[in-house]
Amino acid sequence: MNRDRSAQVLVVLGSVVLLAAAVIHYLLAYPEVLLATRASNLDPPFQLAFRTVFLLVACDWVAVAVIALVAALKETRVRKPLVLLCASALMVSTGISLHLLGWFLGDEMLVTAGLLMACGGLLFK
């Protein structure tokens, strides 16, 4: 297997992990957030804002995964920087999440996806 093919496999694996994280975030965690915000004493606009931001995180992960996938599978000049940008964005998100929330399954999935993408991005010529 050549370098570019190995890089593509790593980026695809990272994208699959990130898409799985987005699905788990939406299907398993979002309903809990919905119930918790409804039961809270937050003002309704803040409840909506919190639920919106929580949902948008999953949408952002899908977008990053798709961008990395397309970049990895298309032979263009910008695929290496684009994949590395996606990996960097994940690592920044993970760092912020770790600082504010501590370790949990989502962080582990983000780190895994980010490292797979970073390794794949660095392997591209």
Place of tokens 């392997």: 123
Indicate whether 125 pLDDT > 90. Answer: no
pLDDT at 17: 98
| Range of weakest confidence among 4-8, 42-46, 55-59, 104-108 | 104-108
Please give the share of the chain, as a percent, with pLDDT higher than 70: 100
How far apart, in whole angstroms, are the C-alpha atoms of residue 37 and residue 65?
A: 28
Band the pLDDT of 104: cuts 50, 70, 90: confident
Name the region of 76 (left: φ>0; alpha: ψ -120 to 50; beta: rest).
beta
Mean pLDDT over residues 19-31, rounded?
A: 94
Q: How confident is the model over 75-95, as a mean pLDDT?
A: 95
* Euclidean distance between CA atoms 109 and 107, whole angstroms: 5
Alpha-carbon 62 to chain mean position:
7
Residue 113 near residue 67, CB atoms below 8 Å: no
pLDDT band at 42 (very low <50, low <70, confident <90, very high): very high
| C-alpha distances in Å from residue 55, one per residue of 22, 51, 77, 98, 105 | 9, 6, 33, 19, 17
pTM score of the predicted model:
0.92
